[in-house]
Amino acid sequence: MKNAEYKKAIASVLECEANKIFLYWKGRVALFAALTSMGVKKGDEVILPAYTCVVVPNAILYLGAIPIYVDISEDDYNLDISKLENAITSKTKVIICQNTFGLSTNLEQILRIAKKNNIFTIEDCTHGFGGYYDGKPNGSFCDAAYFSTQWNKPISTGIGGILLVNNKQLLDGVIKLESKKIKPTIVDTISLSLLLLSRKLFINKYSYYKMVNLYRILGKYKVVIGSSEGTEITSIEMPVKYFKDMSNIQMIIGTKNIVTLKEINERRKNNSIIYTQFLKNNGKKFVAEKYFENHLFLKYPLIVKNRDLFIERANKENIILGDWFNSPIHPIKKNLHLWQFEPELFPIAMEVSKKIVNLPTELKNIDRVIDFLRLNLDFIQ
- pLDDT at position 195 is 78
Q: How far apart are CA 165 and CA 158, in angstroms?
A: 23
In a domain, 271, yes or no: yes
Q: What is the pLDDT of residues 145-183, one digit of tens each?
A: 999 999 889 999 999 999 999 999 999 999 999 999 999
Q: How far apart are CA 228 and CA 332, in angstroms?
A: 11
Looking at the 3D structure of the chain, how many domains does it have? 3
How would you classify the pairing of strands 329-330 and 52-53?
A: parallel
| Whether residue 171 is found in the same domain as residue 199 | no
- pLDDT at position 207 is 54
In a domain, 243, yes or no: no
In a domain, 252, yes or no: no
- Of 160, 178, 196, which marks where a domain is finished? 178
State the alpha helices, DSSP H only, in 258-357: 261-281, 307-316, 347-355
- pLDDT at position 236 is 93
Among 180, 258, 183, residue whose Cα is nearest residue 5: 258
CATH number (domain holding residue 370): 3.90.1150.10
Q: How far apart are CA 202 and CA 215, in angstroms?
A: 12
Give, for 21, the enclosing helix (H) or strand (E).
strand 21-24
In a domain, 250, yes or no: no
| Whether residue 229 is found in the same domain as residue 341 | no
| Number of alpha helices (DSSP H) and beta strands (DSSP E) in the chain | 12, 13
In a domain, 246, yes or no: no
- pLDDT at position 222 is 58
Instruction: Return all residues near 221 (Cβ < 8 A) that are at least 6 apart.
Output: 230
- pLDDT at position 369 is 98
Q: Which pTM value belongs to this model?
A: 0.94
pLDDT below 50 — which residues of the chain?
A: none
Q: How far apart are CA 247 and CA 23, in angstroms?
A: 9
Q: What is the pLDDT of residues 46-79, one digit of tens each?
A: 999 999 999 999 999 999 999 999 999 999 999 9
CATH number (domain holding residue 133): 3.40.640.10
CB atoms within 10 A of CB 336: 17
| Whether residue 371 is found in the same domain as residue 232 | no
Instruction: Return all residues near 155 (Cβ < 8 A) that are at least 6 apart.
Output: 129, 130, 149, 254, 257, 258, 261
CA distances from 295 to 86, 254, 375 (A): 28, 22, 29
3-state helix, strand, coil in the chain (%, to 5): 45, 15, 40
| Whether residue 194 is found in the same domain as residue 109 | no
In a domain, 295, yes or no: yes
Q: How far apart are CA 305 and CA 316, in angstroms?
A: 18
- Of 162, 178, 194, which marks where a domain is finished? 178
| Whether residue 147 is found in the same domain as residue 225 | no
- Contact assessment for residue 310 and residue 289, using Cβ atoms and an 8 Å cutoff: no
- pLDDT at position 332 is 93
- Of 178, 194, 221, which marks where a domain is finished? 178
- N-to-C CA span, the chain: 51
| Whether residue 55 is found in the same domain as residue 149 | yes
In a domain, 253, yes or no: no
| Whether residue 167 is found in the same domain as residue 196 | no
Instruction: Return all residues near 224 (Cβ < 8 A) that are at least 6 apart.
Output: 191, 195, 215, 218
- Contact assessment for residue 147 and residue 7, using Cβ atoms and an 8 Å cutoff: no
| Whether residue 129 is found in the same domain as residue 27 | yes
- How high is the mean pLDDT of the chain? 92
| Whether residue 118 is found in the same domain as residue 192 | no
Percent of the chain with pLDDT over 90: 81
Residues spanned by the domain of 214? 186-238
| Whether residue 292 is found in the same domain as residue 229 | no
Q: What is the pLDDT of residues 77-92, one digit of tens each?
A: 999 999 999 999 999 9
In a domain, 119, yes or no: yes
| Whether residue 330 is found in the same domain as residue 192 | no
Q: How far apart are CA 277 and CA 364, in angstroms?
A: 18
| Whether residue 173 is found in the same domain as residue 200 | no
